Structure 1
Amino acid sequence: MGIRFIKISVIYFVIGACIGLFMSMTHSFALTPVHVHINLLGWTSMTLAGIIYYLFPSIADNKLAKTHFWLHNVSLPVMMLGLTFVVYGNASFIPVTAVGGSVLVLAIIIFSINVLFYLRKTDSA
């Protein structure tokens, strides 16, 4: 699970970097919120989760970890696509952004429950 998180986080890193490059080339920074969220919730958070799952394999091999992975990776693109439309003035995508964001928060809560309730001192790799 840890390796899966780290590998997918690199994809988000590339996407975030490409958005940043696009904004600097066009001198249009409307996508800054999308750029920041992809880098923080895609690259950084998922890399850290991957490292935690790698270091503590006992919490990586359960339903909570799998649920975290899928909810995070379905909701983040939904939220980012919605946010892209919203920042370009299409307010009808606010509910899409809100649903994606809400599911993403649920994924983060599931990750937190997994760490807080199931990680033990003796679990390290």
Structure 2
Amino acid sequence: MGIKLIKWSVLYFVIGVGVGMYMSISHDFALKPVHAHVNLLGWTAMTLAGILYYLFPAAESSLLGKIHFWLHNIGLPVMMGALAAFVYGYEQAEPLIGIGATTMAAGVLLFAVNVWKNVKPSAKD
């Protein structure tokens, strides 16, 4: 899960930079919240989670780690796609923002439980 999270986070980094470039070139900054959330929740948070999972194999191999990965990677694109649609006037996308955010937040909560349960000093520490 650690390496998968890191690899997926790079995809979100590319998307975040792409959205930033689009806004800069077009002078249309409506997607600022999408840009910020993709970079924070996609690139940064997933990279850090991936590093933690890589450093702590018990957390990485747990069912909580696997569920976190999927909830994060289902919820974030749904939330960001719906948010992008919403800021451009598609008000019917608003419920999808909540569904994506709730899905991702559940993944983050499971990540927190996983860290508290499975991140421990090794025998050599």
TM-score bucket of the superposed structures, by smaller chain? over 0.9
The count of residues paired between Structure 1 and Structure 2 equals 124
Counterpart of 1:110 in structure 2: which amino acid?
L
Counterpart of 1:60 in structure 2: which amino acid?
E
Counterpart of 2:119 in structure 1: which amino acid?
L
Instruction: Give the gaps of 5 or more residues in structure 2.
Output: none
Task: Give the corresponding residue for 2:29.
Answer: 29
Instruction: Give the gaps of 5 or more residues in structure 1.
Output: none
Counterpart of 1:17 in structure 2: which amino acid?
V
CA RMSD for the aligned pairs?
Answer: 1.2
Q: 1:11 to 1:96 in 2, by over 3 A?
A: same
In the alignment, does 2:71 pair up with 1:84? no
Deviation of 1:118 (Å): 2.1
Task: Give the corresponding residue for 1:49.
Answer: 49
- Alpha-carbon contact 2:85-2:93 (below 8 Å) kept: yes
- Alpha-carbon contact 2:56-2:118 (below 8 Å) kept: no
In the alignment, does 2:106 pair up with 1:106? yes
Counterpart of 1:98 in structure 2: which amino acid?
G
Identity value in percent: 50
Distance in 1 between residues matched to 2:34 and 2:119, nearest whole Å? 32
Distance in 1 between residues matched to 2:81 and 2:101, nearest whole Å? 11
Distance in 1 between residues matched to 2:51 and 2:63, nearest whole Å? 18
- TM-score, scaled relative to structure 1: 0.96
